[in-house]
Structure 1
Amino acid sequence: MPSANLTMITPVEHCRSCGRPIVWAETAAGKRIPLDPEPSERGNVTASLHTGVLHAGVVRGPQRDGLRAAHQPLYLSHFTTCPDADTWRTNR
């Protein structure tokens, strides 16, 4: 998977719980989602910059597999990797 570190295109913050770097993206529903800035082999989130806003979309199944096969970078929600994620989750 190519290196496509999101820190090159958007400001980096640090998780208030674990201190690891994160970037914020916006979903199609207009919600903010924290992403780990490095691509991951386990990733299932696309990220693209449009008009200065980082947009994220979750991909599953064949779409995810196709992007991986095409060596497109995929990212993980920081909720997946943060040891304190449950502290920040909200009810949907």
Structure 2
Amino acid sequence: MIPTKRELRACAECGRPILWTVTRAGARMAVDPRPDERGNQACYRIAPRTWQSRSLDGTDALPPAPHEHRFVPHVATCKGRKAAPPATLPENVIRLDPRRRSARRR
């Protein structure tokens, strides 16, 4: 099932159309608007302009049902994602990433 144009919104980062879905946990997830066999989200319409999604990645995940179609999460294809921080920082700036990782290992 392909979403209608009224169900699509523009991504704030790249401007491409996206479909907002609601996961079974109640969180919102953006997916690309066209079904794709490489996708890891099973999505289906539950009401007008409302789509449900569930992950197909877990060990206990069931394959897509006949009424579900595979979609790719938009975060995997978004061209407007922010770039990583620069490799060299000014002298008065301390990078916290390595310290956070080491704190988690303790």
Give the 3-state SS of the residue equivalent to 1:6 in structure 2.
Answer: coil
1:83 correspondence with 2:88: no
Q: Which residue of 2 aligns with 1:33?
A: 29
Structure (1/2) with the larger helix percentage? 1
1:11 correspondence with 2:17: no
- Cα distance in 1 for partners of 2:23, 2:81 equals 18
- Cα distance in 1 for partners of 2:2, 2:47 equals 19
Q: Looking at both structures, which has the greater relative contact order when contacts are Cα pairs under 8 Å and sequence separation is at least 6?
A: 1
- Cα distance in 2 for partners of 1:43, 1:18 equals 20
Give the 3-state SS of the residue equivalent to 2:70 in structure 1.
Answer: coil
Q: Which residue of 2 aligns with 1:50?
A: 46
Letter of the 2:23 counterpart: T
Partners of 1:45 and 1:74 within 8 A in 2: yes
Number of positions where the alignment pairs a residue of Structure 1 with one of Structure 2: 79
Q: Which runs of 5+ in 2 are unaligned?
A: 84-106
The two structures have a TM-score, normalised by structure 2, of 0.60
Larger Rg: 2
Measured on the aligned residues, the alpha-carbon RMSD in Å equals: 2.6
Identical-pair percentage: 28
Partners of 2:41 and 2:71 within 8 A in 1: yes
Give the 3-state SS of the residue equivalent to 2:14 in structure 1.
Answer: coil
Partners of 2:14 and 2:80 within 8 A in 1: yes
Partners of 2:43 and 2:71 within 8 A in 1: yes
Give the 3-state SS of the residue equivalent to 2:4 in structure 1.
Answer: helix
Partners of 1:11 and 1:23 within 8 A in 2: yes
Q: Which residue of 2 aligns with 1:90?
A: none
- Cα distance in 1 for partners of 2:69, 2:45 equals 13
Q: Which runs of 5+ in 1 are unaligned?
A: 88-92
- Cα distance in 1 for partners of 2:82, 2:51 equals 24
